[in-house]
């Protein structure tokens, strides 16, 4: 049996010159935990060309959704950005990843801290009713350079808030904090700076970060992860993994160079 399923692209939306999202059919046998990623791609010159992508859709959704950067000379994304409905998409059968709830100890507030396409696993997590059962408050922070790059996240959050089933819970529990670094906006500054200064918590009317009650998931560039990792270690947060749950977990955003 092949290592991947052959799916059909059903919709594509371009958000900026460098960002797009797309949906595809989902094999009923493809199971994943919200927050995981899998290999996806295309046949190129007769061979599969695959890269790691987090599922943006929740595990209960019928379709699959992905959020991608466009790299002009990237082997996969230079082609993927031209996807059209009806095109074929290869989807690896083995989802994996550390941004899953079982890798975290129980807590009351979940911080989802993402930059750029590092938002992707968190959209899956905030669509999952299980997240709202586990936590009293879920804080989604999305850091980008420019306002236009927030578009996809803004749409997903608006859809959840208006969702027939999840809307009421999400309105009570989900706190969305978009921030940009390179133009004026209602929230500005890097996530690191907002955490270190406590501005994030004071803007959201939340208590200071506390390792007894707060859990953190990180997804972004290597530099962002390194800085936030250091910050959390400084506050004595322990990193969780599949064998030992902890107070925070990390995944690199999969950016094609």
Residues engaged in binding ligand A2P (CB under 6 A):
115-116, 143-145, 181-182, 190-192, 221, 223-224, 227
CB of 143 to ligand A2P, least distance (A): 4
CA-to-CA distance for 47 and 28, rounded, in angstroms? 25
CB of 223 to ligand A2P, least distance (A): 4
> Which residue, among 59, 227, 202, has the nearest Cα to 139 in the 3D structure?
202
- Compare residues 93 and 185 and give the one whose CB is closer to ligand A2P: 185
CB of 197 to ligand A2P, least distance (A): 13
Q: How many residues does the chain have?
A: 257
- Compare residues 23 and 192 and give the one whose CB is closer to ligand A2P: 192
> Which residue, among 57, 58, 64, 75, has the nearest Cα to 8 in the 3D structure?
64
- Compare residues 227 and 239 and give the one whose CB is closer to ligand A2P: 227
Residue 151 phi/psi, 5° resolution? -50, -45
- Compare residues 186 and 242 and give the one whose CB is closer to ligand A2P: 186
CB of 190 to ligand A2P, least distance (A): 4
CA-to-CA distance for 237 and 154, rounded, in angstroms? 29
**Is there a contact between 50 and 90 (Cβ–Cβ < 8 Å)?**
yes
- Compare residues 162 and 230 and give the one whose CB is closer to ligand A2P: 230
CB of 1 to ligand A2P, least distance (A): 37
């Amino acid at each position: 049996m092949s290592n991947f399923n052959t799916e059909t692209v059903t919709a594509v939306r371009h958000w900026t010159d460098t960002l797009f999202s797309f949906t595809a059919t989902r094999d009923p046998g493809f199971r994943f935990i919200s927050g995981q990623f899998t290999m996806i791609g295309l046949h190129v010159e007769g061979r599969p060309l695959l890269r790691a992508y987090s599922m943006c859709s929740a595990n209960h959704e019928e379709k699959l959704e992905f959020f991608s950067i466009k790299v002009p000379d990237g082997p996969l994304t230079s082609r993927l950005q031209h996807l059209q409905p009806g095109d074929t998409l290869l989807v690896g059968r083995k989802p994996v990843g550390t941004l899953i709830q079982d890798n975290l100890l129980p807590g009351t507030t979940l911080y989802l801290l993402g930059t750029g396409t590092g938002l992707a696993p968190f959209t899956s997590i905030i669509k999952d009713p299980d997240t709202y059962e586990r936590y009293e408050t879920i804080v989604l922070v999305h850091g980008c350079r420019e306002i236009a790059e927030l578009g996809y996240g803004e749409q997903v959050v608006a859809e959840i808030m208006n969702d027939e089933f999840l809307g009421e819970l999400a309105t009570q529990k989900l706190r969305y904090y978009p921030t940009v670094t390179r133009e004026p906006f209602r929230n500005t500054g890097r996530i690191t700076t907002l955490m270190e200064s406590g501005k994030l918590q004071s803007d959201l009317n939340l208590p200071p970060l506390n390792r007894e009650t707060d859990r953190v998931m990180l997804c972004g560039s290597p530099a962002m992860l390194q800085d936030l990792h250091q910050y959390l270690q400084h506050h004595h947060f322990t990193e969780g993994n599949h064998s030992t749950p902890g107070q925070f977990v990390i995944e690199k955003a999969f950016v094609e160079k």
